[in-house]
Amino acid sequence: MTTRKFASSLLASALLVLSLASHAAAGLPGEGVSVQPLQSALAEETFQTLLVSRALTKLGYDVSPINEVEYPTAHIAVANGDATFMANHWNPHHAEFYKNAGGDAKMVRKGVYSAGTVQGYMIDKKTADRYRISRIDQLTDPKLAKLFEVMALPIGDISTQNRRMHDGESRQQDVERHTDGWIKAHQETFDDWIAQAMATAL
C-alpha cells in the first residue's frame, strides 16, 4: 500500500539558539544554561529526546528531566520559552501546530532527524490480499472504503484513554481492561460495528 512519507525534524526554540551563542564561555558552551526537553507520552519518542538531551549534557548544559505534553502544547511551550526543545516534530504532519504557535518568528526547525518514516493507513496483509488493496486511491471505491468507515471513536474517549495511559495505566493488562470497559459501556455501538463489518466482509 502506498503511504505518504514524513520526515521528523528537530524543533528548537530561537531562544535556545540565541542562548547557545551568548553563553559560549571559556569552558563548555552550555555551562550555566538550563534546558527543558519535551516529548509526547509515546514511549518510542524517548530515544531521540534522550539522544539530544545527552548530547546537550555533554556540551555542559543542565538538562532537566523530560516533560510529557501533547504536541500542540509542546509547540506553544517552546515558542513561549517555557521549554527549550522537542526532538519529535513531524514535518509536515505538525506544521499547523508550528504555525499556530508562532512559526519561524518564535521557533527554529533545524535539520532532518529521522528521514524516510511513514504515516498513513496500515492494514493487515490478509485483508489487503483478499480485496487486492495496494494503493490508497482504491479507497474511493465505496465497498473498500466501507471497510475503514465502520468504526468512529469520539475524540473525548480517545483523550480519556491517552490521559489514563499518561497517568500510569499503560501496561497491556490496563489497556485490555480499558478496552473491555469501553465495550461494555458502549455494547450496542460495538455490536453494530461488528454487524456492519461482517456485512461488508461478505
DSSP letter at 44 equals G
Residues in contact with 92: Cβ distance below 8 Å, sequence separation at least 6, in sequence order: 6
Q: Which amino acid is at 135?
A: R
Residue 120, pLDDT score: 62
CA pair distance 159, 136, nearest whole angstrom: 27
Q: Does residue 104 form part of some domain?
A: yes
Residues in contact with 120: Cβ distance below 8 Å, sequence separation at least 6, in sequence order: 1, 2, 3, 4, 136
Same domain, 108 and 159: no
DSSP letter at 59 equals T
Residue 18, pLDDT score: 34
Residue 191, pLDDT score: 81
Same domain, 94 and 181: no
Same domain, 35 and 100: yes
Q: Does residue 125 form part of some domain?
A: no
Same domain, 103 and 159: no
CA pair distance 178, 184, nearest whole angstrom: 10
Residues in contact with 194: Cβ distance below 8 Å, sequence separation at least 6, in sequence order: none
Same domain, 24 and 103: yes
- The contacts found for 154-160 with CB under 8 angstroms, 24 or more apart, are 157/182
Residue 151, pLDDT score: 66
Residue 190 is part of which domain span?
A: 151-201
Same domain, 74 and 172: no
Q: Residue 73 belongs to a domain with what CATH number?
A: 3.40.190.10
Residue 73, pLDDT score: 93
Domains held by the chain: number = 2
Q: Does residue 128 form part of some domain?
A: no
* Residue where a domain terminates, one of 96, 119, 142: 119
Residue 68, pLDDT score: 92
Q: Does residue 146 form part of some domain?
A: no
Block means of pLDDT (10 residues each) for the chain, length 202 residues? 34 36 60 93 84 89 93 94 91 87 92 68 78 86 77 76 77 79 87 72 54
Residue 92, pLDDT score: 78
